[in-house]
Amino acid sequence: MGLKLADRPLEPGYRYFERFTPPAESVEKVRGPEPAINPQAQVHDSILGPWCRVGARTSLSETAMGAFSYIVNDSSSAYAEIGKFCSIARDVRINPGNHPTWKAAQHHFSYRAISYELGDEDDQDFFEWRRSHTVTLGHDVWLGHGVTVLPGVTVGTGAVVGAGAVVSKDVAPFTIVGGVPSKPIRERFPKAVQDGLLAIAWWDWDHERLADALDDFRTLDADAFVEKYA
């Protein structure tokens, strides 16, 4: 399969990884904005923004992850666009493997023929079908422990997905969902506060402005934050 993200233009501070090679030093020693990937992680054909973190035994394939987002241990992501400041817990599956249920055989051999010595080429049309069902996370999304986000789903900015949920439908911004399949529980804020946060778009602030506003992030609730920065 060809590399799909290799030629995408990169914003300042973003890095492309064709295939991650563990550094000599431990990930715990990594400091500063350079993306930090645990030596036990696997990252292939993916883009990571500054301050991104990837945990142990986590795999990323054809995934673009925005600045400050992190995904911790024992998780996986494929064919995904992840916004900035996303918090992804352990044992999360983003766009897990999908199979051609409408065909006579849904087993790997039909599209990974080389591995089974059944053909000279894999079925590239199948993988393009997988890519056409990209998972998209907005900014400041929190995926709890053990969440699964199924192919083609969009999770809006500021949304929360409760632990163990299976997300089969789009999630609106600033909405908390949970369950199998996931269903809306409540909105995090009133509509006016949601609109205010989207207008402020603090996730696009530069590092210095984030630092200047740190006390407000810590002490103000969302309503007061919007009132101050709108």
Q: Which residues contact 34 (CB under 8 A, 6 or more apart)?
A: 15, 50
| Cα of 3 vs its chain's centroid, Å | 19
User: Residue 5 — φ and ψ, nearest 5°?
Assistant: -105, 0
Whether 107 is a known active-site residue: answer yes
**Angle between helix 222-229 and helix 191-200 axes, rounded to 10 deg:** 50
CA pair distance 84, 50, nearest whole angstrom? 10
Torsion of Cα atoms, 214 then 216 then 222 then 227, to 10°: -130
Question: Which residue among 44, 99, 107, 207 is the active-site one?
Answer: 107
How far, in Å, are 110, 150, 154, 155, 163 from residue 79 at the CA level?
Answer: 20, 11, 12, 14, 22
Runs of H (alpha helix) within 44-162: 124-131
CA distances to 6, 50, 122, 158, 192 from 195, in Å: 35, 27, 46, 11, 5
Q: Catalytic residue positions?
A: 107
